[in-house]
Amino acid sequence: MNRPVLFALVSGLAIALASASPALAQDQRREIHYADLDLSNVSGADALINRIRQNARVYCGEHPGPMMWSEYRYVESCRRETELQDLDAVGDANVRARYEQRYGYGSATAALQ
C-alpha cells in the first residue's frame, strides 16, 4: 500500500475514533472529589481546578500528539464547557475567581468566543 492511501486510511480512522469518543465519554460518570481540600485558600482552589481540568481532558478525549484542527477545536470547546459546568456544580466563588484569574475566562459566553 502506498503512503498517500495509508495516510488517508489512518486519518479516516483517527477521525472516526475522535467522533466516536464523545459519545462514549458522555456515558461516563464524571465525579470530582474535593472534600479533602480547603477551598478558601489558593492551594486548595488550585488543586480542585487541576482536578477539574484533568477530568475534562479525559472526558473530552484529549490525547497527546498531533490532532487535526477540527478535532483540536472540538476537544478545546468540550474541555472548556466541561470545566465551566464542573465549576458551576462546585459553586464556590473562591474557586471560580481563581479559575478566571488563571485562565482569563469564566463564563460560558466568554469561553466559547
CA–CA gap between residue 93 and residue 18 (Å, rounded): 34
pLDDT digits (tens, 9 = 90+) for 45-102: 999 999 999 999 999 988 888 989 999 999 999 999 999 999 999 999 999 999 999 9
**15-42 per-residue burial string, b: 16 or more CB within 10 A, e: under 16:** eeebeebeeeeeeeeeeeebeebebeee
pTM above 0.85, yes or no: no
pLDDT digits (tens, 9 = 90+) for 22-49: 444 444 557 899 999 999 999 999 999 9
